[in-house]
Structure 1
Amino acid sequence: MSAADQRCGLFAPDVAAALAAATAQARGAALRAGTSAASLRQTEQAARAKASAADCHSPDIATAATRVRSAFAGYAKMTRLNYAGDVAGWAADRNLGRAPRWSLAQESSFGTGADAGRMAFGLAGREGQEALVAVAAFADGAQPYAARLVLRDDTRASQPYLDRFGGGSTAGLPLARRLPPVSAQKAYAAAARSPAGSDLLPKGETAGWAFRFPDAASVELATLDPREAVAVDFLFPGDVTRRAYVEVGDFAAGRAFLQVAGH
């Protein structure tokens, strides 16, 4: 129906955004279950070909569009949605508020012993104005002076690196084995650093540091394969780096879910 909507203009922007979110979620689930990207591309091409040949005013198209609008009526009332992943999922919340809050977040633990930490990562802000943010707390109270987001550079590697034998499901594959080698990586430096507000801290933490990344990083993250991972490096004096991993998962679907509220 997404292909038909692009050709025939079947849906209002809010319904189209909801359809995009559902499409992204379905694509992610198929990839994680072992469906190849090539197979999905063939399916998408077949759908576009079928849509291009369809009569925009046909009864079949009208019936299908009515069903989508009916489904959207229930979807539009949802304000929270959880997206499961192989290792870590995303929690989406499109309620608006004046205080900074997480709209789309994934929490994780990293490191061991004195180097251990907790991180919340995702889209945060107030009144629907979200930015890509990492908030971290460290067991030893260390204070990072900078952070960078490390991800696959699609100009150097068009496909994700998944360190596994053969194809099939990625369930159980550690996030560290979903990041490309250094030669195929790029990084976004955090644009701002500040003490983290209590509403953004990882669960159970009382103090931490927040780093805001450029908007371009959020856009690029949404284009990555849902099976891969990205890393957040926290930089400390003495050339010390502590790394946390994020499962890309359904970030694109969650981001689209939030955008429904803006239409």
Structure 2
Amino acid sequence: MTIGQTALKTKAALAAAALLALPTLARADAGTTYYERAFVVAADARCNLFAPHIDAALQAATAQARGAALRSGTGPSELAAAADRARARAATVSCSDPQLALVRARVDGAFAGWMRTPRMDFPGTRRTWTANRIRSATANWRLQQMSMVGASPVAFGYAGKGDAPELTAVVSFVGRSRPYAARIVLRDPVRVQRPWLAGDGLAPVSARASLWATGVAPAEATLLAGERRTGEAWRFPAAVADALGRLDPRETFAVEFHFRDGSVATAKFEAGDFTAGRAFLAMGML
């Protein structure tokens, strides 16, 4: 490829990024959307284009685009290659390029409204993560996905008071004894590198990793589902978030509740756009 061809392709990438309405996903080619957002992320990392709150919004939008591309049928290897191309292209752009300044202005403008958005849903294939940035003096859900085990509702995500919510599972068991332990089970990427999308969704026992809850307490009323009056809140270590972030958005993970009679109650969840929801929260409380 000649120097002239490289310059033309770089200008084309800049123009595409400048025209991109970043907070929306109503585009025909989800893979192209991901490439364009990955390009802006790479340019930002190299040239320090955006303030931290805009950077967090951009990370959320890029993660959201990746999830949409995977759900549309684009393979993980294709997206990894797209991200590599985006980084390589960003490496050739001068930080003083006027087109890059246009990209910066367009991104700032596109996210101006997003920064004031208090809540956002991140739909997956089967389930939705709901994010909430409204500051509250009482415990509430910052990022939540709902499931069921039998007739008992289970919520999982970030919950708590103030600006430091914890990864939590809240369950209200109906008509049975209470569990003595809980853990997250999910595919172990060291044992199985490819996403597990077969069977009932959960990877085979031989291919799973698990992370145990670090504590339990009565759930505050504001965290309970529907008209439930009581429930338990199980707290999980921060490492769970990184483990979920490594999953394919289409993959299933579960919260297992262990009882003293040897039985296990399993609530299944979808990884979905957990990473995008987490980045949305990083934009700060309103």
| TM-score normalised by L of structure 1 | 0.90
Q: Which residue of 2 aligns with 1:11?
A: 50
In 1: Cα distance, 2:168 partner to 2:135 partner: 17
Question: Which one of 185, 190, 194 corresponds to residue 208 of structure 2?
Answer: 185
- Paired residue type of 2:265: R
RMSD: 1.4
C-alpha deviation, 1:223, in angstroms: 2.5
Counterpart in the other structure of 1:167: none
SS class of match (1:23): helix
CA distance in 2, matches of 1:218, 1:40: 22
Equivalent residue for 2:255, pick from 229, 232, 243: 232
- Give the aligned residue type for 1:98: A
Contact 1:28 1:249 in 2 (8 A): yes
* Residue 161, structure 1, aligned to residue 196, structure 2: yes
CA contact under 8 A between 1:178 and 1:227: conserved in structure 2?
Answer: no
Counterpart of 1:90? 129
Unaligned runs of 5+ in 2: 1-39
**Residue 202 of structure 1, aligned match among 221, 225, 228:** 225
Instruction: Report the TM-score when normalising by structure 2.
Output: 0.83
Larger Rg: 2
Rounded to whole Å, the distance in 1 between the matches of 2:273 and 2:237 is 20
Taking the aligned partners of 1:88 and 1:142, their CA distance within structure 2 comes to 28
Q: Deviations over 1:130-166 (max 9, x none)?
A: 1110011122143111111101111112221111xxx
Counterpart AA for 1:4: A
| The 10-residue stretch of structure 1 (137-146 or 60-69) with the greater mean CA deviation from structure 2 | 137-146
1:217 aligns to what SS in structure 2? Answer: helix
Matched residues in 2 for 1:203 and 1:85: separation? 22
Given residue 247 of structure 1, which amino acid in structure 2 is its aligned partner? E
User: 1:119-198, aligned counterparts within 5 Å?
Assistant: 119-163=154-198, 177-198=200-221
Residue type at the aligned position of 1:60: Q
**Equivalence for 1:170:** none
Q: Please list every run of 5 or more consecutive structure 1 residues that lacks an aligned counterpart in the other structure.
A: 164-175
Name the stretch that deviates more: 219-228 or 44-53.
Answer: 219-228
Asked which structure has the greater RCO (Cα within 8 Å, sep 6+), the reply is: 1
Q: Which has the higher strand share?
A: 1
Distance 2:274 2:247 in 1: 9
Distance 1:85 1:74 in 2: 23
Contact 2:133 2:285 in 1 (8 A): no
Q: After the TM superposition, which segments of 4 or more aligned residues of structure 1 sit over 6 Å from their partners?
A: none
Q: CA deviation at 1:262?
A: 6.5
| Alpha-carbon distance in structure 2 between the residues aligned to 1:223 and 1:14 | 23
Aligned twin of 1:107 = 146
Aligned-pair CA distance for 1:177: 2.5
Pairing of 1:43-122 with structure 2 (within 5 A):
43-111=82-150, 116-122=151-157
